[in-house]
Amino acid sequence: MTDSFDVDGLLDDPETRVVVCCGSGGVGKTTTAAALALRAAERGRQTVVLTIDPARRLAQALGLRELGNHPRRVSVPGFEPRGELWAMMLDMRRTFDDMVRRHAGPERSEQLLANPFYQTISTSFSGTQEYMAMEKLGQLAATGEWDLIIVDTPPSRSALDFLDAPNRLSAALDGRMIRLLTTPARAGTWGLRKVVGAGFSMFAKAVSTILGGQLLADASAFVQAFDSTFGGFRERAEKTAELLRSRGTSFLVVAAPEPDALREASYFVDRLSTESMPLDGLVANRTHPVLADVSEISAIDALAAAESLERRTATGTGDEGSADGTAGPDGADGADALAAAVLRLHADRIAMAGREERLLARFTRAHPHVPVTTVPALPSDVHDLDGLRDIGNRLARG
């Protein structure tokens, strides 16, 4: 298998400024991001972890009641890291609102925030969430308050859509629909009707149903204010995109050792390569390795021994028996039954470990340049800092 990458070396390197964890849902990506952030803080980094996962699991993993749209310092009794640990969860609407207030004057910002077209675009326009994730990452990097930012991305292939968000949002706002909506302010309603012909009434009715009767005026007012107020929004997004491609950024793909998750991981690896993004490795999470001291017992031997014990228990030949001559569950038969169950469990574990090894080997054959770190599954879910610290230790051991 491909060599494991050096997690502590990555976190300790002062040139590492951004770590992006991506992957499909249900593979422990949020927990991985939180564990990395905790480990980095305890090793002396001024760390902030940003999640755009709407499941809100990050606060629970850090032992916090909730997270907001602005970084909150993790301060738990007994937690005294060499550095600092901050955490936040992206609120798309609040990020957009903050951007309006920051770049528009008080009067204009209030007009924009009250605009029905803005209220729609800030919550449901395609690409808005991903663009706001870019905006928030850029804001965090620009402050210089943290020397390490760890990003936990959404649990789907859309996790990399924020790379396309600036162009998609720009194209939408510069596109034909917006030009049609803003035409009345420049050329009057007749000019718009002439442009779109007989289909205008149906078009206007359909969109007006969504945005209200003041659609055209609201859209015109919004776009004109947007053009004058946010002229540099694309430039800021491009700057953040440059940050994501810089030497100070590292992408980690998180996956479970399962066929679907590893197929998704392959998609992420290929996409990152296409986008020239700096990929540091794959975290194979929740693996089931066999302990070294019992690995010499093969699955075949374990099953054979289990069947022998089960036959002996069934016939009662291995037990002194009870007073009426039947096998007693609390005697040797009980011990044999327990031993047989353990042996079968061991055989299942060996089979599972072998299947996972084959799946990971297939991935590494397809992507030999991608280092892999494996993290054994824990017996229970992570609910506190100690659990995250354990995950961090396992990540570092690989």
What does the pLDDT look like over 110-155, one tens digit per residue? 888 888 778 877 777 666 777 788 888 988 999 999 999 999 887 6
Quote the pTM value: 0.79
Q: Identify the pLDDT of residue 30.
A: 87
Q: Which residue has the higher pLDDT, 211 or 296?
A: 296
Q: Are strands 372-376 and 72-73 parallel, antiparallel or unpaired?
A: unpaired
DSSP letter assigned to residue 145: S
Query: By the 8 A CB rule, do 158 and 40 touch?
Result: no
In whole angstroms, give the CA distance from residue 41 to residue 73: 11
Residue 243 has pLDDT above 80, yes or no: yes
Q: Is 21 left (phi over 0), alpha (psi -120 to 50) or beta?
A: beta
User: Does the domain at residues 7-114+126-178+233-287 carry the CATH identifier 3.40.50.300?
Assistant: yes
Express as a percent the part of the chain with pLDDT over 90: 30
Out of 55-64, 227-236, 340-349, least confident range: 227-236
Query: What are the residue ranges spanned by the domains of the chain?
Result: 7-114+126-178+233-287, 299-356
Tokens for 145? 């308050």
Give the three-class secondary structure for 50. strand
Q: Identify the pLDDT of residue 160.
A: 66
Please, which pLDDT band fits residue 193 given cuts at 50, 70 and 90? very low
Interval 62-92: pLDDT, tens:
877 788 889 999 988 889 999 999 999 888 8
Residue 251 has pLDDT above 70, yes or no: yes
Residue 318 has pLDDT above 60, yes or no: no
Tokens for 310? 């089960």
Strand order in the sheet with 18-22: 72-73, 84-89, 46-51, 148-152, 18-22, 249-255, 279-287, 372-376
Rg (CA), the chain: 28
Find how far residue 354's CA is from the centre of its chain.
27
Q: Identify the pLDDT of residue 303.
A: 79
Q: Identify the pLDDT of residue 150.
A: 96
From the list 84, 89, 71, 90, the residue with the least C-alpha distance to 38 is: 84
Q: Which amino acid is at 186?
A: R
Give the three-class secondary structure for 49. strand
Among 151-155, 243-247, 329-333, the range of highest mean pLDDT = 243-247
In whole angstroms, give the CA distance from residue 221 to residue 234: 20
Helices 128-143 and 165-174, axial angle in degrees (round to 10): 120
Interval 353-388: pLDDT, tens:
889 999 999 999 999 999 999 999 888 878 889 889
Residue 231 half-sphere exposure toward CB, CA atoms < 13 A: 3
Backbone angles phi, psi at 11, to 5 degrees: -70, -35
Q: Are strands 84-89 and 46-51 parallel, antiparallel or unpaired?
A: parallel
Out of 44-53, 258-267, 280-289, 334-343, least confident range: 334-343
From the list 302, 305, 300, 301, the residue with the least C-alpha distance to 318 is: 305
Q: Identify the pLDDT of residue 181.
A: 54
Residue 141: CB atoms within 10 A of its CB come to 19
In whole angstroms, give the CA distance from residue 46 to residue 149: 9
What torsion, rounded to 10 degrees, do the Cα atoms 43, 76, 395, 260 define? -140
